Amino acid sequence: MQLKSKITGTGSYLPSKIITNDDLAEMVNTTDDWIMERTGIKERRVAGQDEANSDMCVEAAKKAVSAAGLKPEDLDMIIVATMSGDMPMPSTAAIVQHKFGAINAAAFDINAACSGFLYGLSVADKFIRTGASKKLLLIGAEVNSKFIDWKDRGTCVLFGDGAGAVVLEPADDGRGILSTELFTDGSMWDYICLPGGGSANPPSEETLREGLHHIKMRGNETFKVAVRTLEKLVINTLEKNNIEPSELAMLIPHQANLRIISATAKRLNLPMSRVAVNIEKYGNTSSASIPIALDEVVRAGRLRDNDYVLLEAFGGGLTWASALIKW
């Protein structure tokens, strides 16, 4: 039987600080009803002032590696999916490797915004299938709060911080990742972006004054593209694998907007009881949202051996991606 990559451990971490919609109503012109109606978000977690991306990564990693029955030194590779790393160089993954004590692991970052975890999962799957890696740690982590304009109602209500992690190992029993699909359309790069701080707009007094170091988003346009794209993506992914939507035990979508999640579930004719939803508690944690939701589903005992699980995401780039797993 063909070798596959299998998730053998999951973990997640959420900062302790909570910002509610009522808290935001004291900062910007908004209300709890306005936010809930448009997004489904009630509250979000925010990292502490001295809490870096790598710190959250390590906490999620501890739980995932423990769940897999491994130790940090057993890992041979670490991939961190993030758009809010500790610094431009070195990679956040390298810092995690040191902090976590994974002395035998190669480490690097991937940035595909909210699709980052699934892009990372696709890369990790290839490393495992080819035998180049045997014990791989994949983390999705974001500290979006440190790149938010807290006076911009269009973005500050959406995002939260957190980290989720999985361990992947080889499997030859037919279970594991069945397929991954990755897509990009860079012509819409400015729909969701953080324009300042790179070589195009290096840090300066002007970029700070213009707020280019904050996340910018064209919300309405992004929403329309996301709904249309994700509906097509999930159907095509299942068709490629000859899986009927009714065979899905669980849909684990990126937690961007409850209306998008509900539309995707409706397209698959899936009851919401078979859809992982935690956006009300955490908001949009970008590349961390799917692994956090997956960890919650696993620890709640909602998945059984041989269940079909579909993961899907849409984010900046624009990027979108899916993964079908036989658990």
Residues noted as catalytic = 114, 254, 284
- 3-state secondary structure string across the chain: CCCEEEEEEEEEECCCEEEEHHHHHCCCCCCHHHHHHHHCCCEEEECCCCCCHHHHHHHHHHHHHHHCCCCHHHCCEEEEECCCCCCCCCCHHHHHHHHHCCCCCEEEEECCHHHHHHHHHHHHHHHHHCCCCCCEEEEEEEEHHHHCCCCCHHHHCCECEEEEEEEEEEECCCCEEEEEEEEECHHHHHHEECCCCCCCCCCCHHHHHCCCCCCEECHHHHHHHHHHHHHHHHHHHHHHCCCCHHHEEEEEECCCCHHHHHHHHHHHCCCHHHECCCHHHHCECHHHHHHHHHHHHHHCCCCCCCCEEEEEEEECCCEEEEEEEEC
Question: Is the distance from CB of 77 to CB of 136 less than 8 angstroms?
Answer: yes
7's tokens: 């998730």
Token pair, residue 244, equals 């009927």
In sequence order, the β-bridge partners of residue 10 are 166
Q: What is the dihedral of CA 223, 227, 230, 234, to 10 degrees?
A: 160
